[in-house]
C-alpha cells in the first residue's frame, strides 16, 4: 500500500494520503489548505487520482483544503453525518465503509472532542490502522471544552470504541505537538497518561481542568471550514 503522512508545522496537523498503488485511486484525510501545493505535487508525482477528501471533524486551528481539492481534482468531500459543513458532498454514518480502489475505511462515530467527530478504521475486516482525528492523540486526547465537546463522550468513544480495536492497530492522529508520528491502540491503553489506570470520573476531571487558551485561528477557521475551507467573504 502507498501511505504518506504529511505535516503542517504551523498547526501541527498530520494529513494522510492512501492509495493501493502508484497510478491508482487515492484518498486524503484532514488536508490543510496551506499545504495544498504539496498534496497536489504528491498526487501528480505518484500519478494518483484523488477520489475522496475526508475530514474527521470541523477543525478549529487551521483552514482545511477540502473545497480546493474538490474544485481542482473533482474528488468527493466527506465528513460525518452530524457535520454542519454545507459543502460536504457525502455524509458518512456509523459503520459506513468508504472505498477507493483496494482501500477500505470504516467510519466510526467518536464524539467527545467535538460532537460530530468520526474516526476511520483502515481495512475494517482485519484492522491495520485507525485515523482518530483529535479524539485520541498519542499520549493525550483532544480538548473537550468547545464545539460540542464533552469529556464523558470522549471517554466513551476512546474506551468503548477505539480501545476495542486490536491492540496492534496503528494509531494515526490528526495532530501531534511533541514529535510522535504514530502509536498503537495497545500502547495508548497502557501509556496514555490521561487514560491508563484512570476511571471515567478521573478522566473527566483532567479534561475539565486543562485551562487551554482558544486556538489562535478559531474565529476564522471554524466559519471557513463550515464552507470546506473557503474564508468567509465580508
Ligand atoms: Fe480538532
CA of 147 to the centre of ligand 1 (A): 9
Residue 84 resides in a domain:
yes
Residue 190 resides in a domain:
yes
Residue 225 resides in a domain:
no
CA of 40 to the centre of ligand 1 (A): 24
CA of 38 to the centre of ligand 1 (A): 22
CA of 1 to the centre of ligand 1 (A): 27
Cα gap 183→170, rounded to integer Å? 6
CA of 143 to the centre of ligand 1 (A): 8
Instruction: Average pLDDT across each block of 10 residues of the chain; the chain has 234 residues. List them in order.
Output: 97 97 97 98 98 97 96 97 91 98 97 98 98 98 96 98 98 97 98 98 97 90 91 58
Identify the domain containing residue 150 by its residue range: 2-214
- Predicted confidence at residue 83, as pLDDT, reads 95
Q: Note the pLDDT tens digit of each residue in 12-25.
A: 999 999 999 999 99
CATH number of 29's domain: 3.60.15.10
* Residue pair 162/136 in contact by the 8 Å Cβ criterion: yes
CA of 134 to the centre of ligand 1 (A): 5
Q: Which residues pair with 76 in a beta bridge?
A: 52
Residue 227 resides in a domain:
no
Number of domains composing the chain: 1
Average pLDDT over the chain reads 96
Residue 231 resides in a domain:
no
- Predicted confidence at residue 233, as pLDDT, reads 57
H helix runs in 35-103, sequence order: 36-45, 66-73
Residue 234 resides in a domain:
no
CA of 108 to the centre of ligand 1 (A): 16
CA of 152 to the centre of ligand 1 (A): 17
- Predicted confidence at residue 228, as pLDDT, reads 87
CA of 83 to the centre of ligand 1 (A): 13
Residue 222 resides in a domain:
no
CA of 57 to the centre of ligand 1 (A): 7
Q: With pLDDT > 90 as the criterion, what percentage of the chain qualifies?
A: 93
Cα gap 51→69, rounded to integer Å? 10
Residue 228 resides in a domain:
no
Q: Note the pLDDT tens digit of each residue in 92-140.
A: 999 999 999 999 999 999 999 999 999 999 999 999 999 999 999 999 9
Q: Compute and round to an integer the Cα radius of gyration of the chain.
A: 17
Cα gap 26→96, rounded to integer Å? 18
Amino acid at each position: 500500500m502507498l501511505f504518506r503522512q504529511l505535516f503542517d508545522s504551523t498547526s501541527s496537523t498530520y494529513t494522510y494520503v492512501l492509495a493501493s498503488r502508484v497510478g491508482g485511486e487515492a484518498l486524503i484525510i484532514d488536508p490543510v489548505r496551506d499545504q495544498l501545493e504539496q498534496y497536489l505535487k504528491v498526487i501528480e508525482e505518484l500519478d494518483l487520482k484523488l477520489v475522496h477528501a475526508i475530514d474527521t471533524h470541523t477543525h478549529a486551528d487551521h483552514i482545511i483544503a477540502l473545497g480546493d481539492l474538490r474544485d481542482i481534482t473533482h474528488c468527493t468531500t466527506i465528513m460525518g453525518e452530524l457535520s454542519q459543513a454545507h459543502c460536504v458532498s457525502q455524509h458518512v454514518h456509523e459503520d459506513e465503509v468508504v472505498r477507493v480502489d483496494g482501500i477500505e475505511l470504516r467510519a466510526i462515530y467518536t464524539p467527545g472532542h467535538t460532537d460530530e467527530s468520526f474516526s476511520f478504521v483502515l481495512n475494517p475486516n482485519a484492522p491495520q490502522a485507525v485515523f482518530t482525528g483529535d479524539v485520541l492523540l498519542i499520549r493525550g486526547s483532544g480538548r473537550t471544552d468547545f464545539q460540542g465537546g464533552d469529556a464523558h463522550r470522549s471517554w466513551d468513544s476512546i474506551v468503548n470504541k477505539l480501545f476495542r480495536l486490536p491492540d496492534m492497530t496503528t494509531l494515526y492522529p490528526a495532530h501531534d505537538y511533541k514529535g510522535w508520528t504514530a502509536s498503537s491502540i495497545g500502547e495508548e491503553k497502557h501509556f496514555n497518561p490521561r487514560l491508563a489506570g484512570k476511571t471515567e470520573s478521573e478522566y473527566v476531571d483532567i479534561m475539565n481542568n486543562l485551562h487551554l487558551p482558544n486556538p489562535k485561528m478559531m474565529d476564522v477557521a471554524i466559519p471557513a471550514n463550515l464552507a470546506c475551507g473557503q474564508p468567509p467573504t465580508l
